[in-house]
Structure 1
Amino acid sequence: MSDNRIQLERTLSLKAVVLFGLAYMTPLIVLGTFGVVATTTQGSVPTAYIITTIAMLFTAYSYGVMSRAFPVSGSAYTYVRKTIDSRVGFMVGWGVLLDYFFLPMVIWLIGAAYLGAKFPDVPTWVFLLGFIGITTVLNVMGIKLAAKVNSLLMVFQVLVIVFFVVLSLRHVFMDGGTDALFSMAPFFNADSSFATIAAGAAVAAYSFLGFDAVTTLTEETINPRRNIPRAILLTALIGGGIYVLVGYTTQLVHPGAVFENADSAAFEIARTIGADLFGAIFLAGMILAQFTSGIAAQASASRLLFAMGRDAVLPRKLFGALHPRFHTPVFSIVLTGLIGIVALFLDVLSAASFINFGAFIAFTMVNVSVIVMYLKDASVRAEYGVLKAVVVPLVGAGVNLWLMSKLDIHAVVLGLVWLAIGLIHLTHLTRFFTRKPPEVDFSEEMPENGSSTPEPV
């Protein structure tokens, strides 16, 4: 294959990459999960996001270091595989699969909760199945709706957020004057505690899922060794700043943590600050965001499953096959849709906590990878030093593990079960660890016979 077929044109600036990262994070999600985080923190949402943002900045720094060392797709899976061990990398990839596999379920659940709040006479499961059915059909047909409307959606999200913040400040000012705009109650109050805020921070991490997605643009970014690490940090910092600001102003409007329905609390608040008109606009923005991000999340999950099937990490006949007409991984798409039905038995808190378990594993191991690379590579020691390559990632790993310990206990148990299944599968693939596991190829090129076979240790 000639170079002109495998090399992408470097046209993306730092600004363009940051905007991509923010769009992938879906900033409006801070309002989508506001009630859940407020309930968990007992009314201290902005403090939870401050803690999570700090944790993500440490991890974002480590992602930047690894993206410079390994400018390829695969993210945490690739970084751990290259620096530590292929088997450990497999387990991290299995943990990341938890995010990809179940993220669409959470997106559909949030969308269904908000539609259920608007139309209480219609059972929520009707909306959930509607989300699943429509997005599954569109993905099977190969439509790329999410990519086409991405920029428009981002503009609409920003406008909704700006109006939400302005109307919130207006509402608070009219009720209590200037002094009410600078209350410390949203950060800490009589009902909240360090334990509740920490638990809320663990849930708030859901809003940051995808900040590392900018690493997939390495080959298309101008001066990637400089701009990709900066873009990762800026995406996490700007996203965190938006979350803290929106959390603060929204908590001013609705102090405490009592809602008719925590899963759709922001819809109640939108109607409070802007009457039914803004409530309708907010609902439209939320549903559009959940719908398009659901399409993208399901497409991403099915692509990952397809890559794993093609490379014999998962059964090739099922996961590695494409539909003869639509050329899409139908089995993986439908399976992801069927998994979404599990949301009928979950609430947003449980579902978000479950996938955060996989995210914290990936974030922790990326930090550990920097430390291992420092110990193995003299050039890394010379370039970064102990502070940047040991202390910073060590703090990042520690904070992520701490946040993971604050997750809902049921989510932790389910996450450990998921890892146990992965370990059993790894044992089978490697014939009781006598062979290396197959390697997943995340490249854009998909050869007809592209596969990996276990190699002897």
Structure 2
Amino acid sequence: MSSIEEFGYRQELQRSLSFADLMIYGLIFMVPIAPFGIFGNVFATSHGMVALAYVIGLVAMAFTALSYAQMARAFPMAGSVYTYAGRGIAAPVGFMAGWAILLDYLLVPSLLYLIASAAMHTFIPVIPVWGWLVAFVVLNTVVNYLGIQMTAKITRVMLVAELVVLAIFLVVGVIALAQGKAQTGALTPFFDSSSFTWSVVFAAASVAVLSFLGFDGISTLAEESRVDARRIGRSMVAALALAAVLFVVQTWVAALLTPNREQLIAQGDAPGQAFYTTAEFAGGAWLSVLTAVATAIAWGFANSLVAQAATSRLLFAMARDRQLPAFLAKVHPRHRVPVNATFLVAGLSLVIGVFMSTREQGIGELSSLVNFGALAAFLVLHVAVVWHYMVRRRSADYWAHLVAPAIGFAVLVAVVINQNVAAHWVGGLWLVVGLIVLAASYASGRRPVLPSEVQ
């Protein structure tokens, strides 16, 4: 296994994670039941072709996962796309890629906490949304502070629980279909000739892709993994493939059983209740409550737990390279975690989550911004693969280092173009701020420089 000392760093984080830990981490980050929470929005945007939207999202993310795997082999260290773009192209490009994906990583925990808190508030209204937010943030911060092994143990338990709930829904759903409760033809969730256009499909995919975000978080744990770099890449691909199967199957079953289809397509699903309504139609009120509570716990605890861990590692990596304040690079001497970065993420998540809870479209606005930051960074990742392998190393593996990244880039461009227009404006403003920060670094004599590889 490559040593990070080869790239000018000291090994500070604890190497304790196995291949299974990494794959489970990625699955938890993506949330096996993620479509529960955004099913209605994807259904309305895709005009009922939910399964097709997830297939397109899988294609985009599959090529991105292949690019991640290639760069993880070349640079087995924390930092994700920030590290890969910085070392694969140039340090300033890495800074901008890291800045772009920071928009995703910094907002993801807030989005997860907000969705979960809103769901729990509907069941226990005596506790306000902000109260649930505080509880989720404190709980996850304590677990992450205790070390990555504690996080890994918790995620295993949560993954099993999510899969049990998903299995119950699928069994009840299949029984309902066998009883003749289907509201449309078996292939309609994949293709409806009366509604199909590429703009509709890609617009829906731009929402559905939120469920896939998280497999890339595995790369942030490269310095805490005891497996070699190739297996880190394979764990990303494996986690993505397993999640995709689960996403397509559950959305296909749910789309067949969704009542009031035309009304949902026309009016959308602002409250985010469409999946739970479908669950009630399929199996009764108990199934609706079970799926809703499971979503709240999965998003508010399990997913946000690993999201907080991944975000703190990205901040740690950028601070270690003096591209963010140095205090974020502090590692706890006992727990071996980036402690200051962990606390900063917790604080930001709380502030942003509470603020967005006061906005009527807070969840939708956060979702669009999260997706924009991630997809912009993924575009740079594909370029980094081509530049590092084809231009620098003169690779002869044209599929892995040229064709696959080019296809992934093209698919992502189509998805980004069909995103919410507001996300383009706010995301673009975020990138402009990043350029200003980068220019200020140059002006102050602190231009981005990565530690040199040992020759």
TM (norm. structure 2) is 0.83
Check if 1:419 corresponds to 2:422: no
Check if 1:186 corresponds to 2:189: yes
For structure 2, the 5+ residue unaligned runs are none
Q: Does the 8 Å CA contact 1:36/1:262 hold for their aligned counterparts?
A: no
Tell me how far apart the structure 2 counterparts of residues 287 and 116 of structure 1 sit (CA, whole Å).
10
CA RMSD of aligned residues (A): 3.4
**C-alpha distance after superposition, 1:242-261 (max 9, x if no partner):** 11111111000106361665
Deviation of 1:231 after TM superposition, in Å, equals 2.1
Q: 2:407 is matched with which residue: 389, 395, 406?
A: 395
Tell me how far apart the structure 2 counterparts of residues 129 and 438 of structure 1 sit (CA, whole Å).
41
Structure 2 residue matching 1:341: 3-state secondary structure: helix
Deviation of 1:342 after TM superposition, in Å, equals 3.4
Q: 1:244 is matched with which residue: 237, 240, 248?
A: 248
Q: Does the 8 Å CA contact 1:17/1:231 hold for their aligned counterparts?
A: yes
Check if 1:340 corresponds to 2:350: no
Check if 1:129 corresponds to 2:130: yes
Check if 1:313 corresponds to 2:347: no
Deviation of 1:435 after TM superposition, in Å, equals 5.2
Task: Say if 1:16 and 1:366 are closer, same or farther in 2 by CA, change over 3 A.
Answer: same
Of 77-86 and 211-220, more deviation after overlay is shown by: 211-220
Q: 1:89 is matched with which residue: 73, 91, 94?
A: 94
**C-alpha distance after superposition, 1:342-363 (max 9, x if no partner):** 3222343332121111111121
Q: 2:18 is matched with which residue: 12, 30, 34?
A: 12
Tell me how far apart the structure 1 counterparts of residues 269 and 62 of structure 2 sit (CA, whole Å).
34
Tell me how far apart the structure 1 counterparts of residues 229 and 447 of structure 2 sit (CA, whole Å).
30
Tell me how far apart the structure 1 counterparts of residues 399 and 11 of structure 2 sit (CA, whole Å).
41
Deviation of 1:112 after TM superposition, in Å, equals 3.4
Check if 1:228 corresponds to 2:259: no
**C-alpha distance after superposition, 1:72-131 (max 9, x if no partner):** 111111111012111111000001111111111211232234335546xx49xx643123
Q: Does the 8 Å CA contact 1:202/1:407 hold for their aligned counterparts?
A: yes
Deviation of 1:239 after TM superposition, in Å, equals 1.2
Tell me how far apart the structure 2 counterparts of residues 77 and 185 of structure 1 sit (CA, whole Å).
40
Equivalent residue, structure 2, for 1:50: 55
Letter in 2 for 1:199: A
Letter in 1 for 2:407: V
Task: Say if 1:322 and 1:232 are closer, same or farther in 2 by CA, change over 3 A.
Answer: closer
Letter in 1 for 2:43: A
Task: Say if 1:354 and 1:412 are closer, same or farther in 2 by CA, change over 3 A.
Answer: same
Tell me how far apart the structure 1 counterparts of residues 69 and 239 of structure 2 sit (CA, whole Å).
12
Deviation of 1:412 after TM superposition, in Å, equals 1.1
Tell me how far apart the structure 1 counterparts of residues 181 and 153 of structure 2 sit (CA, whole Å).
44
Deviation of 1:200 after TM superposition, in Å, equals 0.7
Q: How many equivalent residue pairs?
A: 429
Check if 1:381 corresponds to 2:395: yes
Tell me how far apart the structure 1 counterparts of residues 219 and 346 of structure 2 sit (CA, whole Å).
24
Of 34-43 and 46-55, more deviation after overlay is shown by: 34-43
Deviation of 1:216 after TM superposition, in Å, equals 4.0
Q: Does the 8 Å CA contact 1:173/1:181 hold for their aligned counterparts?
A: no
Q: Does the 8 Å CA contact 2:151/2:305 hold for their aligned counterparts?
A: yes
Q: Does the 8 Å CA contact 2:113/2:299 hold for their aligned counterparts?
A: yes
**C-alpha distance after superposition, 1:368-424 (max 9, x if no partner):** 11110123334x513x2x232111111111111211111100011110011111111
Letter in 2 for 1:407: Q
Deviation of 1:19 after TM superposition, in Å, equals 2.8
Tell me how far apart the structure 2 counterparts of residues 99 and 197 of structure 1 sit (CA, whole Å).
23
Q: 1:368 is matched with which residue: 383, 386, 397?
A: 383
**C-alpha distance after superposition, 1:162-206 (max 9, x if no partner):** 1111211211221258xx896111123334533222101011111
Task: Say if 1:5 and 1:131 are closer, same or farther in 2 by CA, change over 3 A.
Answer: same
Task: Say if 1:23 and 1:321 are closer, same or farther in 2 by CA, change over 3 A.
Answer: closer
Q: Does the 8 Å CA contact 2:39/2:251 hold for their aligned counterparts?
A: yes
Check if 1:108 corresponds to 2:113: yes
Equivalent residue, structure 1, for 2:210: 206
Check if 1:410 corresponds to 2:422: yes
Task: Say if 1:82 and 1:399 are closer, same or farther in 2 by CA, change over 3 A.
Answer: same
Aligned pairs for 1:260-271 within 5 A: 261-271=270-280
Q: Does the 8 Å CA contact 1:35/1:262 hold for their aligned counterparts?
A: no
Task: Say if 1:94 and 1:11 are closer, same or farther in 2 by CA, change over 3 A.
Answer: closer
Tell me how far apart the structure 2 counterparts of residues 437 and 166 of structure 1 sit (CA, whole Å).
54
Letter in 1 for 2:169: F
Task: Say if 1:149 and 1:56 are closer, same or farther in 2 by CA, change over 3 A.
Answer: same
Task: Say if 1:397 and 1:69 are closer, same or farther in 2 by CA, change over 3 A.
Answer: same
Letter in 1 for 2:367: A
Structure 2 residue matching 1:372: 3-state secondary structure: helix
Q: Does the 8 Å CA contact 1:36/1:349 hold for their aligned counterparts?
A: no
Q: Does the 8 Å CA contact 1:42/1:191 hold for their aligned counterparts?
A: yes
Equivalent residue, structure 1, for 2:288: 279
